[in-house]
Amino acid sequence: MLRMRLNRLCGGDEKRVDSRTIYVGHRPCLDTEAFIPSKFCDNRIVSSKYTVWNFLPKNLFEQFRRIANFYFLIIFLVQVIVDTPTSPVTSGLPLFFVITVTAIKQGYEDWLRHKADYEVNKYPVTVLEDGRSVKKESERIKVGDVVEVVEDEIFPCDLILLQSTREDDTCFVTTASLDGESNHKTHYTVPDTEKDLQALSATIECEQPQPDLYKFVGRMHIYKADQEPAVRSLGPENLLLKGATLKNTKKINGVAVYTGMETKMALNYQGKSQKRSAVEKSINAFLLVYLCILISKAVVCTTLKYVWQSKEGQDEPWYNQKTQKEKDTNMYLKMFTDFLSFMVLFNFIIPVSMYVTVEMQKFLGSFFITWDKDFFDPEIQEGALVNTSDLNEELGQVEYVFTDKTGTLTQNNMEFIECCIDGFQYRHGDELDGFTVTDGPVSKLQQKAGLEKEELFLRALCLCHTVQVKEDGADESPRDQVDGVDGMFPQPEEERCFIASSPDEIALVKGAMRYGFTFLGLESKNMKIKNRQNNIEEYKLLHVLNFDPVRRRMSVIVQTKSGEMLLFCKGADSSIFPRVKPEEVDRIRLHVERNATEGYRTLCVAFKQLSAEEYAMADAGLREARLALQDREEKLMAIYNQVETGMSLIGATAVEDRLQEEAAETMEALQGAGIKVWVLTGDKMETAKSTCYACRLFQRGTELLELTVRTLEDGRTKREDKLLELLRDYHRRAVQDAPPVKAGVTRSWSTANQEYGFIIDGATLTLLMNPPRDADASLYRSLFLQICQNSTAVLCCRMAPLQKAQIVKMVKNSKGSPITLSIGDGANDVSMILEAHVGIGVKGKEGRQAVRNSDYAIPKLKHLKKLLLAHGHLYYVRIAHLVQYFFYKNLCFILPQFLYQFFCGYSQQPLYDAAYLTMYNICFTSMPILAYSLLEQHMAIEVLLDNATLYREIAKNAMLRWRPFLYWTVLGIFQGLMFFFGVRFLFSNPALQDNGQVFGNWSYGTIVFTVLVFTVTLKLALDTRHWTWINHFVIWGSLAFYVFFSFFWGGIIWPFLKQQRLYFVFANMLSSVSAWLVIIILILLSLLPELLLVVLRKPRGPHSRQKKLGQSNVGGSHSSQSSARPLLMRTFSDESNSVK
């Protein structure tokens, strides 16, 4: 990469900027030509972040970029430089612990990357040199080397396919490690290459490395003696990508074009943008508040110190004379030093260990999703996957769900239902010459299209596709493969199985097989089909005009035995109808619209007979466009559009894509939880609309507000004016005239009010996002958003992938910044998955790109219900309590220290021993809250799933708003005051022992600290609704450890301590009955408000609902054991009565 950048900076060959020239086998093409080998990067892969030399400085730099770590570093340096009341160890040790744990974690992860790099770079490969096969390490491959790869091996770099052992000069590969798609993809050798590669003299001119896996532009010049060099175009079908695996092919040879960090796989290893949860933002806001409190305390104490010292005799009492150095010190410098000392003394109010606890809680908590047996899908033998644990709590805050339709709401398991030929409908049933007429125009009942039209239609289905016949091994059962998932289609008699990139294509080929036309396969550019009479028909495949989402159609040009050139085209009705005769459209449009209304996926089929002149022109244009290095796609698109005109419409197909299991129940539960559901799909409006009705997103009484190209077509007014008119009309009906609805209430409680469903298509959205220059863009978007927000469901159809992301971004950035979630299963959903706050990938049939780019992956849509309503709810409640509890316990900790300054002449005298200051957050109070934040279930999972409305009670960050924060802060202040003044009341007579010996200031601080540790720990025990043996162990174990540590720390003379403040202080303290009594009374008094609130407060909210639900189960059939069982137990073990 560095070399590439230097080349660009230093200029050099202008041509090299846009393309590179590669000599195949490093051989000069002509004897007269001077051979100057080009320099390209080697084949080493470096995915690691650190080296042995830069790990320490680089890792420390990255860690101290975090504000909290940097703050504690500054505090530590102040303690080292300035004479502060506490030892640098008190803040240095916790900081060292945090930095070390993080560094070890990141170092281990990088070591794994180094290990993986080593395995890849040292992998043995075979390179052809001087006619011999030479074994080399992968990292030693150079651009231009001819590499040999055998079946089931991974390609070591990006190769152009030169030779294959297959007769048809093709090879099959799987790209599962690149885009997750495990279907077999066909790649082709470069035509006219020598069989003996040693004799091949050629150069390859191709584009510079770029990350798009599906794009490649190049050309190959093949030199032969006494002949003009032959030029062959190179495209993605000739390029074998590093990381892909060779399948169903014994051996191939290819020339290396991109190596090492310039391969497409390496260029695609880009980190996703970091997503931050709402909880992190709340933590930062609370930190600022506590930082202000800290600074205020330091300012107050510094000011009062100098006010107090200004009194006569206080600044320099007779028993504490100043040194000459102290007298010469600048007054303002001394004040600043004192301010820093107070900052250090009170800095523990900012909890550094909270960051480590939150990280551990998120990391460990994510395993509960992975381990959940309810997420395991036996069909694909996989469960849920967590790609990032930073967003667990965000699952409990979702306000908008954006879902794809095909493969997410539906199964993407296509079944051929019926077809329409020349206006007549055919449905598979009791066969009558292969067809049954079930329906059609009233005047044409029991009539059929002509036999010629029928056979032409079926030939089109058999020829217009990119399906391959799979070569099964002897032990393999034949099944269709669509992106790695076996198709569930019923096997025909011939036991044929196909591989394809889309389930639609297999469904159509299977549909043709039902009616007597069977696709036999492609051999050496010849497509063979068997017709109804069992005769083999052979067609020469001349060109494939590939499908793309802009054209929304694909075509093939074939040649019959008699020499006729035929073009067959299939695609969406919106892209086919404008390219055929209008009178043909009228006959078929009715069937297409009815099929779409019934929820079927429709495709139209057209054909065209090309004259010799037309074909020659198209062939020349396609070849020229494919040889272009610049703007190849645009040139190909122009030729495609030119050829695909003036076609004849033969018919249309209807393919059923069934709803996902429990799709309707899941959507209903999400709406019950107050979540708005938007369906974003590239499918037809009618098909998508029927899916929305089936999923209960639209009800029978729902009034649909439609904003599509059809509604904008008004001959009298311009589209832009009609759009604004409709927006205002819909806004008046859905927003202005709608009665005010209580926030969060959905159809369950508002049946008396009119419900609205909103529908928009891609073309109208483009117009809405880019209005005329004289129009107010913000007005259009504002009206649109308000209509959508007041609708029970929104359907966006005919959406391009980028438009899906635009919709998500618009909602995400709208007023209130609602939390968004996108869920999809295909590559076209990646943009919206990355754009949303939370991205969910479904392990469907459209590859694994969505899964790879998501934050969480689930096997089926139905699992989204539990993921949000149970896991998301619990994660949010746990982490919200963790954050509030951390700030509360640190306020309780530092407030007595602040109050103590008023009674020690603002001398910065610490109230607690250095060991207590260091260990409070690390050992004494950290484990109970970590266990709570992992295991707490304030409600059973069954209750959360049965009562979706409970999700609303935590919506909009309810537990981390300022009101609960204020409650926790007031509680911390109350308990801090109670600790300090309660113990001060005890010390009104410090002679607390039978022998009259008085207690000192370290005994005072130790009693306060003991009350503090027991109170904050017991407060957490009071908050725990769900006890497991782990909770018991860490809560009572932490208290026991504190007592043990205090005895141990004060019971031994430690040689490394200059002064031992707590020597036998703890044991001495416990010898006093008065101290025991005060500790017990103060703990009870501090917890009394909490106890009273629990006892006197009327049951409300989730706990009361759970209780009522339990009482409503007659005879206790809904076992309370099941409801109260810990999440941990239900995760690790099967449901059984033995687990209590």
Among the options 179, 338, 404, 855, which is catalytic? 404
Q: DSSP letter string over 544-605?
A: EEEEETTTTEEEEEEE-TT--EEEEEEE-HHHHGGGB-HHHHHHHHHHHHHHHHTT-EEEEE
User: For the chain, what is the radius of gyration of the CA atoms?
Assistant: 37
Would you list the DSSP string of 967-993?
HHHHHHHHHHHHHHHHHHHHTTS-B-S
Rounded to whole angstroms, the Cα distance separating 944 from 1079 reads: 40
**How many Å apart are CA 860 and CA 864, to the nearest integer?**
8
Instruction: Please state whether beta strands 526-530 and 518-523 pair in parallel, antiparallel, or not at all (unpaired).
Output: antiparallel
- Residue 755 Rama label (left phi>0; alpha psi -120 to 50; beta): beta
DSSP state letter for 702: P
Please give the Cα distance from 981 to 785 (Å, whole number): 56
Please state, in angstroms and rounded to a whole number, the distance separating the CA atoms of residues 179 and 483.
10
Give the residue among 461, 458, 418 at the shortest CA–CA distance from 556. 461
Total number of residues shown for the chain? 1140
β-strands 756-761, 676-680 pairing:
unpaired
Query: Among 872, 940, 937, which residue's Cα sits nearest to residue 1110?
Result: 940
Q: What's the Cα-to-Cα distance from 160 to each of 216, 453, 916, rounded to whole Å? A: 11, 42, 67
Cα–Cα distances in Å, from 1025 out to 268, 923, 938, 1022? 47, 23, 5, 8
Antiparallel, parallel or unpaired: β 756-761 and 703-707:
parallel
User: What is the spatial distance between Cα 253 and Cα 195, in angstroms, rounded to a whole number?
Assistant: 11
**Known catalytic membership, residue 404:** yes
**Interatomic CA distance for residues 9 and 552, integer angstroms:** 41
| Concatenated DSSP letters of 165-214 | SSTTSEEEEEEHHHHSEEEEEEEEPPTT--SSGGG-EEEEEEEPP-S-TT
| Residue in the block written with tokens 């540790």 | 1013
Query: Could you give the CA distance from residue 547 to residue 35 in angstroms, rounded to a whole number?
Result: 41
Q: Is the dihedral of CA 345, 349, 353, 359 positive or negative?
A: negative
Distances (CA, A) of 415 to 365, 513, 591: 41, 13, 18
Phi and psi based region of residue 150 (left: phi greater than 0; alpha: psi -120 to 50; beta: remaining): beta
Q: Is residue 863 within a helix (H) or strand (E), and if so which, with residue range?
A: helix 863-866
Tell the burial category of 108 from Cβ atoms under 10 Å away from its Cβ (0-12, 13-18, 19+).
exposed
**Angle at CA 658, nearest 5°, toward 656 and 664?**
140
- The region, left, alpha or beta by phi > 0 then psi within -120 to 50, assigned to residue 28 is beta
Q: In the sheet where 481-482 sits, what is the strand order?
A: 468-469, 498-500, 481-482, 485-486
Helix and strand counts by DSSP (H, E) for the chain: 40, 36
Q: Please check whether residue 634 is in contact with residue 683, taking contact to mean a CB–CB distance below 8 angstroms.
A: no
DSSP for 398-420 reads: --EEEE-IIIIIEEEEEEEEEEE
First to last CA, the chain: 59
What is the b/e burial string over 787-807, where b = at least 16 CB atoms within 10 angstroms of the residue's CB?
Answer: bbbbbbbbbbbbbbbebbbbb
Instruction: Compute the 3-state secondary structure of the chain and give helix, strand, coil in percent, each to the nearest 5.
Output: 50, 20, 35
Catalytic sites, residue numbers:
404
